[in-house]
Amino acid sequence: MTTYDPREMTWDQYCKLMQELFGPQELGNVPEEHWRDWVDGMSGIGYFVNSAIPDQRMYDTWQSWAENMVGIMNITA
Protein backbone atom coordinates (compact mmCIF):
# COMPACT_ATOMS: atom_id res chain seq x y z
CA MET A 1 0.00 0.00 0.00
CA THR A 2 1.14 3.53 -0.71
CA THR A 3 2.14 5.55 2.32
CA TYR A 4 2.57 9.28 2.52
CA ASP A 5 5.31 10.90 4.54
CA PRO A 6 3.71 14.05 5.98
CA ARG A 7 6.95 15.93 6.43
CA GLU A 8 6.99 19.11 4.38
CA MET A 9 3.33 18.64 3.40
CA THR A 10 0.50 20.97 4.21
CA TRP A 11 -2.62 19.60 5.84
CA ASP A 12 -4.53 20.13 2.60
CA GLN A 13 -1.98 18.09 0.63
CA TYR A 14 -1.97 15.24 3.13
CA CYS A 15 -5.74 15.19 3.49
CA LYS A 16 -6.23 15.12 -0.28
CA LEU A 17 -3.78 12.25 -0.75
CA MET A 18 -5.47 10.23 1.98
CA GLN A 19 -8.86 10.95 0.44
CA GLU A 20 -7.62 9.53 -2.86
CA LEU A 21 -6.09 6.49 -1.18
CA PHE A 22 -9.29 5.67 0.68
CA GLY A 23 -11.77 7.08 -1.84
CA PRO A 24 -14.59 4.57 -1.27
CA GLN A 25 -14.68 5.50 2.43
CA GLU A 26 -15.42 9.15 1.62
CA LEU A 27 -13.15 10.67 4.25
CA GLY A 28 -13.90 14.17 3.10
CA ASN A 29 -11.78 17.25 3.49
CA VAL A 30 -11.81 19.34 6.65
CA PRO A 31 -9.98 22.48 7.71
CA GLU A 32 -6.73 21.84 9.55
CA GLU A 33 -8.19 22.96 12.87
CA HIS A 34 -10.56 19.96 12.69
CA TRP A 35 -7.90 17.38 11.97
CA ARG A 36 -8.77 15.47 15.16
CA ASP A 37 -12.36 14.97 14.01
CA TRP A 38 -11.09 13.74 10.65
CA VAL A 39 -8.78 11.24 12.38
CA ASP A 40 -11.66 10.00 14.52
CA GLY A 41 -13.66 9.38 11.34
CA MET A 42 -10.73 7.61 9.76
CA SER A 43 -10.41 5.26 12.72
CA GLY A 44 -13.81 3.79 11.81
CA ILE A 45 -12.62 2.62 8.39
CA GLY A 46 -12.48 -1.17 8.27
CA TYR A 47 -8.86 -1.13 7.16
CA PHE A 48 -7.85 0.63 10.38
CA VAL A 49 -10.24 -0.91 12.90
CA ASN A 50 -7.88 -3.84 13.37
CA SER A 51 -4.67 -1.87 12.78
CA ALA A 52 -4.35 0.09 16.02
CA ILE A 53 -4.63 3.51 14.39
CA PRO A 54 -2.84 6.02 16.63
CA ASP A 55 -5.15 7.83 19.04
CA GLN A 56 -5.17 11.48 18.00
CA ARG A 57 -5.37 12.56 21.65
CA MET A 58 -1.76 11.46 22.09
CA TYR A 59 -0.45 14.04 19.58
CA ASP A 60 -0.19 17.80 19.55
CA THR A 61 -0.13 18.13 15.77
CA TRP A 62 -1.53 16.28 12.79
CA GLN A 63 2.03 15.91 11.47
CA SER A 64 3.13 13.98 14.55
CA TRP A 65 0.08 11.75 14.26
CA ALA A 66 0.59 11.22 10.51
CA GLU A 67 4.24 10.26 10.95
CA ASN A 68 3.06 7.36 13.09
CA MET A 69 0.54 6.40 10.43
CA VAL A 70 3.39 5.75 7.99
CA GLY A 71 4.61 2.92 10.25
CA ILE A 72 1.12 1.49 10.74
CA MET A 73 0.37 1.47 7.03
CA ASN A 74 3.70 -0.19 6.23
CA ILE A 75 3.03 -2.94 8.77
CA THR A 76 -0.54 -3.65 7.64
CA ALA A 77 0.11 -3.39 3.91
Query: Is it the case that residue 76 has pLDDT exceeding 50?
Result: no
- Does residue 20 lie within any of the structural domains? yes
The candidate with the shortest Cα–Cα distance to 73, out of 43, 41, 47, is: 47
Its domain, for residue 38, covers 11-76
Number of domains in the chain: 1
- Does residue 2 lie within any of the structural domains? no
pLDDT tens by residue, 34-71: 999 988 887 777 666 666 778 889 999 999 999 887 76
- Does residue 19 lie within any of the structural domains? yes
> pTM of the predicted model, to two decimals?
0.74
- Does residue 4 lie within any of the structural domains? no
Mean pLDDT across the chain, nearest whole number? 80
Confidence of residue 74 (pLDDT cuts 50, 70, 90): low
- Does residue 3 lie within any of the structural domains? no
Who wins on pLDDT, 14 or 73? 14
Question: Residue 45 carries which DSSP code?
Answer: S
